[in-house]
Structure 1
Amino acid sequence: MRALLTVIMELYCQKHVSRTKAWLVIIIAGMFLCSQATAQTFQDNSNSDARLRVATPLMAHPSNGPVVPPFSRPEALFTDPFGMTSWLRTRGIALTMDNTNEFTAAISSPTPGHPDYKQGASNAGQMNTALHINWEKVIGLKGFATHTLFTSRYGTTANRMMGDWLAHSSEIYGGGGNVVVHLVTAYGEENLLGGRVSIAGGRLTEMSEFSASSLFCNFQNNGFCGRPKAAIDNQYITSYPAGEWGFRVRGRPSRYIYIQAGVYFAERGIYANSQHRTGFHFNSSNIVGQLAPIELGWEPLLGHQHKLPGHYKIGGQVISAPNPDNYYDAQGQPYALSGRAARTHQQTWSTWFEIDQKLLHHSYSNAEGGLTAMTGIIYNDPRTSLRNYETYVAFVDRGFIRSRPYDSFGVVMTYVKIAPGVSDTDMLDLSMIPAKTAPNHATGVQGHVTVFEANYQIHVMRGVVFAPDFQIYFHPNAQKNLKNVEFIGFKSQIQIL
């Protein structure tokens, strides 16, 4: 595998080789690696456990006592090395490890007139280690489990070379920095009444459970993978790999309905290396407010044979922490003109409505096989947001080729509208003589951006997935003065344990 990646990267560096040929080499090389095996997809990685627990309806006949839901056991390269995995799991301990790698290269030249922009390629990756412990099996503490997740990240992303700072072409970039060990989450969870009530507290990642789906990371672009980017538009909202102190309660009044709410403590600099490079910085002096999300979800199993799962969710949150206005200063004047600091809002908000529904099931595939459609919208407070709203449409078809029942094809298109105050501030900054530096690395007025992505996930062997990927940015960085940019690359994942 390493040799293959080396050849591909060298190919990109050879100017006499066309980008089209390089793209074909990636696809052919990926198909060359294929072999039949059991199913493995990108949604099965270590950091999906919290999302999977939200997305799993209550069992048909739950008990009335405390219970720890089964830990996920993704298909792995090493199924049960020396019997270690089975020995640990029978004692209530689940250890999973995976490596994800993402490579992107621009196949179009950057917009002329910007000497800092360049046509280049990048690679980013991470190693995840998750530890789940069922304390009922360990010491008899009924219904109680702990979940701890570490990551190690490396690399960079190519979209910034072309002037875009809104949607990373490689999702695995930022947050944890280039660091050997970064603590993502460490929390306890108690499940009562047969799973009807779940209570969690500790170092949590809010967007792993709210506005969340394990399907998002069937793709690579950070505008969608992990969660739609507008869902974490506020500086205090935590998403993988950032964690913060929090408390969450989820109830399931019926088998297919849940409602959850939480309180998370807003911390300054949750994505900044100076405060949270390792994730072990627990200084309470960083806490400046609270976030209070709430979400209602319906998770039906549709179809004649009840094999078409769906997830319908609506939610929102109030953020009580200092946030700057994106246009006005404290005197009600545009801060771009007055030179004064932006007005501070002590409360702001965000909302979301999201759907995914399997439309058909391929009988010759495994339980995950079939065509799934996804859509949604995230709408944020226009006074304090960068992304006023984001909407998306996606399709994932797993196993549509009978001879390749564990492969998957996916397409997604996202549209982001920049908040009016941000656009107006850009206009004022850039109209001055000499022009001032606009926020968000803008070199033009920011308005809207559309990103399209398509990939094909190749199930190489047990625990290994390789996906050639294509992305195109329409108005990178939401600027009309920047030409459209196309990227090709791949995403790979090795589930080790």
Structure 2
Amino acid sequence: MMFTRSLALLARYALIASALLGFFAGRPAHAQYRGPISATAPTFSLDTPTAYENTPFTPPVEHMYQPWANLVKDLNRRGIGIVIDYTSESALALDGGNAGDAGYAHQIGVELDLDWSKLVGWRGFTTHAVAVNRAGHNMAADFGDRSLNGFQEIYGGGGNVGVHLVYVYGTQDLWGGRLQIAAGKMPVNIDFSASPLFCTFMNKSMCGNPKSLTRGDPGYGTYPGSTYGTRFRLWPMHGMYVQAGLYGVNPDLNTNRYDRTGFNFSTNRYTGIYVPVEFGLIPTFGPHNLVGHYKFGVAYDDANYADNYLDIYNNPAPLTRKPFRTDNGKTQIWVEGDQMLVRNGHGPLNGLYVMAGLVRNDPRTSAYLYQFYGALVDRGIFHSRPQDTFGIELSRTTASPDLVAAQRIDYALGRKLPGNTTYPQSHLTVLEVTYSFHVARGLSMQPDYQRIMRPNLQRNKPAIDAIGLKVHAVF
């Protein structure tokens, strides 16, 4: 029944997309000036809709060692793309009741992309696979913060894992690139509510995607977790796309209850279907091609979840002590955009971008209601250092009012609050200022400052100031 409803919903969106295609049929498609490509997390640039040509065959990265770079270029011409990179993120707390606390985490990633048109003549078909090694320590846990905040985003996805399969999927271009179909084992966040600009920053609340989506609904699987899924992206006209997908919902993704390595291909822990739909515009302005990315998305998860407040008789569960009722389905909404205001050079990232967004979750069954964010990202602000990047972002996430109401009752009655909460939650604010130095070919070092206000969304926790360092190397 749940799967039938999801198919019907997807069919409705497909009809809308077909109508759009018919309306714009015959209008020429032109190459779009390419938008931002992540300089420090190449795997996040794969499926992000930044240009008409859809998913690039392999990320355009800069390698540290020229002989290896020459070999990779030769392999690219033959249809084989390889990226090997290392990212480390270190943080040191300056205050917050635990001054001097420190944490280190790293990721070693290996990416393999295959262009089957060059390998065997299968036109328009490419495959992508990524595996990572992750290790280290999440400093946020030392402060009792298990919310979407994290000083080192690279630690997430199950923590210490020797080899973790992130994804393996294929894409097929049709109708001259107007339609692309992706299918395989893949995260949601490489397609929906995605921007390579997010990983300008080191805090987990932003890098990869606004984390209230992931923490608000397990159906929104995020890198390095993945589930079976498929995605359809249609370009009805130049600079406009609509995409929809179907993904399995696995609430135990990246846990020992299912599999922390990513190599479990069973569906025995799946509980439903996640159906995201996104409409996007990619305009460019003026003679300097000031590119922007604007998107509106909505998603429905047809799985069952426990209510945050009501019991099985629709009364306050913290008062009656009856089991929480089960609610069917969750809805998520996101409205996001970025716009280049000033161009500093010819590269796709060389300019000043302003970005902002809003995410809304279902307050009945999600821990969070809203996340708002705004940021400035500027690459090449100094002409003598065109590949340096400056960023400043501010993000606020609010707790579900239903969850807070239940917490207030338990707290007033002197009970221990569920999870890791010690006080009724309210909101979390993250301020981050960062600057990435391009040190050498394929190597960047990024000093970072973060201020976390109300850690774990709790008013009784002092603000935390921390400094950090991110190192990224592409071999």
Whether 1:374 and 2:355 are equivalent positions in the alignment is yes
Percent of aligned pairs with the same amino acid: 34
Match of 1:56 in 2: 51
Q: How many residues align?
A: 438
TM-score, normalised via structure 2 length: 0.88
TM-score, normalised via structure 1 length: 0.85
Match of 1:392 in 2: 373
Looking at structure 2, the residues matched to 445 and 103 of structure 1 have their Cα atoms a distance apart, in angstroms, of 30
Match of 2:30 in 1: none
Contact 2:306 2:326 in 1 (8 A): yes
Contact 1:69 1:195 in 2 (8 A): no
Structure 1 residue 303: Cα displacement: 2.1
Looking at structure 2, the residues matched to 366 and 188 of structure 1 have their Cα atoms a distance apart, in angstroms, of 28
Match of 2:385 in 1: 404
Looking at structure 2, the residues matched to 50 and 200 of structure 1 have their Cα atoms a distance apart, in angstroms, of 12
Match of 1:213 in 2: 195
Q: Which runs of structure 2 are paired with 1:326-405 in the superposition (5 Å)? A: 326-363=308-345, 366-405=347-386
Looking at structure 1, the residues matched to 403 and 99 of structure 2 have their Cα atoms a distance apart, in angstroms, of 26
Structure 1 residue 376: Cα displacement: 0.5
Structure 1 residue 348: Cα displacement: 1.0
Looking at structure 2, the residues matched to 480 and 366 of structure 1 have their Cα atoms a distance apart, in angstroms, of 44
Amino acid at match of 2:245: G
Match of 1:286 in 2: 269
| 1:191 pairs with one of 146, 164, 173 | 173
Are the structure 2 counterparts of residues 367 and 83 from structure 1 closer, same or farther at C-alpha, using a change threshold of 3 Å?
closer
Match of 1:43 in 2: 39
Match of 2:238 in 1: 255
Contact 2:187 2:222 in 1 (8 A): yes
Contact 1:51 1:213 in 2 (8 A): no
The unaligned stretches of length 5 or more in structure 1 are 1-39, 60-67, 111-116
Looking at structure 1, the residues matched to 453 and 193 of structure 2 have their Cα atoms a distance apart, in angstroms, of 25
Residue 346 of structure 1 aligns to a residue whose secondary structure is strand
Match of 2:33 in 1: none
| 2:122 pairs with one of 132, 141, 146 | 141
Are the structure 2 counterparts of residues 367 and 229 from structure 1 closer, same or farther at C-alpha, using a change threshold of 3 Å?
closer
Match of 2:459 in 1: 480
Q: Which runs of structure 2 are paired with 1:77-476 in the superposition (5 Å)? A: 77-81=64-68, 83-110=70-97, 120-166=101-147, 167-232=149-214, 233-306=216-289, 308-363=290-345, 366-433=347-414, 435-436=415-416, 438-476=417-455
Residue 76 of structure 2 aligns to a residue whose secondary structure is helix
Are the structure 2 counterparts of residues 455 and 82 from structure 1 closer, same or farther at C-alpha, using a change threshold of 3 Å?
closer
Looking at structure 1, the residues matched to 347 and 116 of structure 2 have their Cα atoms a distance apart, in angstroms, of 32
Looking at structure 2, the residues matched to 340 and 182 of structure 1 have their Cα atoms a distance apart, in angstroms, of 40
Are the structure 2 counterparts of residues 228 and 480 from structure 1 closer, same or farther at C-alpha, using a change threshold of 3 Å?
same
Contact 1:289 1:321 in 2 (8 A): yes
Structure 1 residue 176: Cα displacement: 3.7
Looking at structure 1, the residues matched to 419 and 395 of structure 2 have their Cα atoms a distance apart, in angstroms, of 19
Looking at structure 2, the residues matched to 482 and 45 of structure 1 have their Cα atoms a distance apart, in angstroms, of 32
Looking at structure 2, the residues matched to 244 and 101 of structure 1 have their Cα atoms a distance apart, in angstroms, of 26
Looking at structure 1, the residues matched to 301 and 331 of structure 2 have their Cα atoms a distance apart, in angstroms, of 6
Amino acid at match of 1:344: T
Residue 355 of structure 2 aligns to a residue whose secondary structure is strand
Looking at structure 2, the residues matched to 289 and 172 of structure 1 have their Cα atoms a distance apart, in angstroms, of 28
Are the structure 2 counterparts of residues 358 and 427 from structure 1 closer, same or farther at C-alpha, using a change threshold of 3 Å?
same
The unaligned stretches of length 5 or more in structure 2 are 1-35
Looking at structure 1, the residues matched to 42 and 131 of structure 2 have their Cα atoms a distance apart, in angstroms, of 10
Looking at structure 1, the residues matched to 344 and 96 of structure 2 have their Cα atoms a distance apart, in angstroms, of 41
Looking at structure 1, the residues matched to 145 and 270 of structure 2 have their Cα atoms a distance apart, in angstroms, of 31
Match of 1:76 in 2: 63
The RMSD of aligned alpha carbons is: 1.8
Looking at structure 2, the residues matched to 123 and 329 of structure 1 have their Cα atoms a distance apart, in angstroms, of 42
